[in-house]
């Protein structure tokens, strides 16, 4: 199963863009890239996912490298509410759906 | 939509007692996951079901843990006997597998304390 590597922590200022990187050099051709976040004292919540093309939704954008060995979650204007642990995940289990195994993630701190 | 519902929200029990955690997935979802989170070990996948059938239980720590899904709207995670090291937040999540990448929806978790 493919693994992901993320920085342990990152910091940002409020209202500035944040780029959260993720390396997944052993990704297979059918692996979707998933991003979740966990706010303090809450369960994880879905942020975004993609396969090859860049993706946008109301929460964030996902930029996927052409070789798919890395991706970047982009928060266009960070708010204090975006302070959370961000997880980049590739499903495992050999199916298109598979199970999601969470790593340590990136702790994002947002300064006012 | 009520989301994934877990009960109880908090459970405090003594070592050796049986603990049962409950989960009601989102209606129509066909996959269900049990996770455990501690500071030391992070978020661990314990077991997941698809169409009420256990698919992967490789994360279940030992025989003291068991999980069931008798129907599409209910699942339990049982610990018998409980030990202090089982203290953690237990999350249930569900998903509808219609397209690859379908998101997991998590409940608010059950905080278990074993004294």
When scoring A43, A45, A55 by the number of chain B Cβ atoms within 10 A, the one with the most, hence best to mutate, is A43
CA atoms within 13 A on the CB side of B21: 33
Instruction: Look at B101 and A102 and tell me if their CB atoms are within 8 Å.
Output: no
pLDDT score, position B98: 81
Q: Quick one: CA torsion of B37, B43, B49, B52, rounded to 10 degrees?
A: 30
One digit per residue, pLDDT tens: chain B, 115 residues?
A: 689 999 999 999 999 999 999 999 999 999 999 999 999 999 999 999 999 999 999 999 889 999 999 999 999 999 999 999 999 999 999 999 888 788 999 999 999 999 9
Nearest to B42 among A42, A96, A102 (CB): A102
pLDDT score, position A96: 56
Contacts of A45 in chain B (CB under 8 A): 106
pLDDT score, position A57: 93
Q: A11, A20, A1: which is closest to A87 by C-alpha?
A: A20
pLDDT score, position A84: 97
Q: What is the mean pLDDT of chain A?
A: 92
**Gap between the Cα atoms of A63 and A74, Å rounded:** 8
Q: Could you tell me the pLDDT band of residue A1, with boundaries at 50, 70 and 90?
A: low
**Gap between the Cα atoms of B91 and B68, Å rounded:** 15
pLDDT score, position B96: 93
Instruction: Look at A30 and B100 and tell me if their CB atoms are within 8 Å.
Output: yes
Instruction: Look at A97 and B31 and tell me if their CB atoms are within 8 Å.
Output: yes
Q: Which residues, in sequence order, are bridge partners of residue B109?
A: none
pLDDT score, position B114: 98
Contacts of A40 in chain B (CB under 8 A): none
DSSP state of B102: P
Nearest Cα of chain A lies from the Cα of B42 at a distance, in angstroms, of 7
Q: What is the mean pLDDT of residues A87-112?
A: 86
Place of tokens 């997944």: A24
pLDDT score, position A15: 96
DSSP state of B41: T
Instruction: Look at A103 and B95 and tell me if their CB atoms are within 8 Å.
Output: no
Residue A92 contacts B where some CB pair is shorter than 8 Å: no
pLDDT score, position A94: 58
Instruction: Look at A102 and B35 and tell me if their CB atoms are within 8 Å.
Output: yes
**Gap between the Cα atoms of A107 and A7, Å rounded:** 8
pLDDT in tens, A49-71: 999 989 999 999 999 999 999 99
Contacts of A97 in chain B (CB under 8 A): 31, 95, 97, 100, 102
Query: Token pair of B98, please?
Result: 């219609």
pLDDT in tens, A27-36: 888 889 999 9
Query: Token pair of A2, please?
Result: 């493919």
Higher pLDDT, A112 or B97: A112
**Gap between the Cα atoms of B102 and B7, Å rounded:** 25
DSSP string over chain A: ----B--SEEEEETTS-EEEEEE-TT--TTPPEEEEEE-TTS--EEEEEESSS-EE-SS-EEEE-TTSSEEEEEESS--GGG-EEEEEE--BSSSSS-B------EEEEEE-
Query: Do residues A42 and B43 touch, judged by C-beta distance below 8 A?
Result: no
Instruction: Look at B97 and A97 and tell me if their CB atoms are within 8 Å.
Output: yes
Residue B88 contacts A where some CB pair is shorter than 8 Å: no
């Amino acid at each position: 199963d493919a693994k992901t590597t993320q920085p342990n922590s990152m910091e940002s200022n409020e209202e500035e863009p944040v780029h959260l990187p993720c390396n997944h050099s052993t990704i297979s051709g059918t692996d979707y890239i998933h991003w979740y976040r966990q706010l303090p004292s809450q369960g994880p919540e879905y942020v975004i996912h993609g396969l090859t093309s860049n993706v946008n939704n109301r929460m964030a954008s996902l930029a996927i490298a052409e070789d798919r060995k890395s991706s970047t979650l982009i928060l266009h204007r960070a708010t204090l509410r975006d302070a959370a642990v961000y997880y980049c995940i590739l499903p495992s289990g050999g199916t298109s759906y598979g199970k999601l195994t969470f790593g340590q993630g990136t702790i994002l701190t947002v300064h006012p | 939509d009520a989301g994934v519902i877990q009960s109880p929200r908090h459970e405090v029990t003594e070592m050796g007692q049986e603990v049962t955690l409950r989960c009601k997935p989102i209606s129509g979802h066909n996959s269900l996951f049990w996770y455990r989170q501690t500071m030391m070990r992070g978020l661990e996948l314990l077991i997941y079901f698809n169409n009420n059938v256990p698919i992967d239980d490789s994360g279940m720590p030992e025989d003291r843990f068991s999980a069931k899904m008798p129907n599409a709207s209910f699942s339990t995670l049982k610990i018998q006997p409980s030990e202090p090291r089982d203290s953690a937040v237990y999350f249930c999540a569900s998903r509808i597998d219609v397209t690859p990448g379908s998101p997991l929806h998590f409940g608010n978790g059950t905080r278990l304390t074993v004294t």
